[in-house]
Structure 1
C-alpha cells in the first residue's frame, strides 16, 4: 500500500504525541521554562516563549488529530457496514447512516428506543428493521 508523505507523518505524529515519552518531554519543557522564570525575571519575553510555542503546537495538532479521527471513523464505519451486511435481519438503511440529517438520526433513535422498551416475545424473533423488506445487500 503506497501512502504519501503527509499520511505517514500524520500516523507517526499521532502515535508519538499519544505516547508517554511525548507527555514526559512536554512536561519537562514546561518545568524547564518555569525554572528559568527567575533567571529572566518573569519577563514578557519569557512568557511569550511558552505562549507562542504552545499556541503553534496546539494549532498544528488540531489538524493531525482530525486526520487521525477521520481515518479511524472511516475504518469503524466500514467495519460496522460489514457487520450490518452480514446479518440477515439487519436493515440496509443502517449502512450509510452517517449521511443522514440530524432529524433523520433522531427519528431512528426514537424507533430503536421503542424497540428496546417493547416486551419481548419468546415464540417469534423480533424484527428490528425500520424499512420492512428492503433487499439485502451482500458483499462477496
Structure 2
C-alpha cells in the first residue's frame, strides 16, 4: 500500500515536471498572465486583483520547488549509477572513485587536486592516448620508491 502511494507521487511528479518544461506550459502561463493583465482596468488595478496573481504565483512556485528537487534527485541518482557502471566496466579506470559522491567536501578537494596533477602529467606526456589513473600513479610511485631505495643501497655499498 505504502509503495503504491510512493509510486503514484513519483509518477505524478514526473508528469508534472515534464509538462511544466513544455512549450504548452509556457503558453498557458503566458496566457494566464496576459488575461490577468488585461483585466486590470476592469478591476481598477485593485489590491485584490494584484493579490490574485501574487498568491497564485507564490503557491505554484512553492510547490514547483519540491517537484523540481524530486526530479533532480532522481536524475542525479541515475547519472551516478551510469557513471559507476562505466567506471566498473573500464579495465583502466580506478574502482576507488565509484560512489565518491558520498565523500566529504574536503575529501573531494583532495581528489580534485590529484586529478589536476594527472591532467598536468598527461599534458607533459604530449600523448593524449596515454592514460593516467590513481592506481597507475600509485604503482609508478611504488616502482620509483623501490628503484630509489635500490639506488641508495648501491650508493651506500660503493662508499
Which TM-score band applies after superposition, normalised by the shorter structure? Answer: 0.7 to 0.9
Which residue of structure 1 lines up, in the alignment, with residue 79 of structure 2? 76
The 5-angstrom pairing of residues 34-73 of structure 1 reads: 34-73=37-76
CA deviation map 1:111-134 (0-9, x unaligned):
111111121265x9443115847x
Deviation at 1:51, TM superposition (A): 0.3
Inter-partner Cα distance in structure 2 for 1:44 and 1:35: 15
Sort the Cα spacing of 1:33 and 1:121 in 2 relative to 1 into closer, same or farther, 3 A. closer
Aligned-pair RMSD on alpha carbons?
2.0
Structure with more helix by fraction: 2
1:129 aligns to 2:108 (yes or no): no
Structure 2 residue ranges without an equivalent (≥5): 140-159
Q: How many residues align structurally?
A: 131
The answer (yes or no) to whether the contact 1:17–1:23 under 8 Å persists in 2 is yes
Match of 2:99 among 96, 105, 127: 96
CA contact (8 A) 1:120 1:126 kept: no
Q: Does 1:8 align with 2:16?
A: no
Give a deviation string over 1:10-40, Cα, whole Å, max 9, x none.
1110110000000000000001101111111
Larger radius of gyration: 2
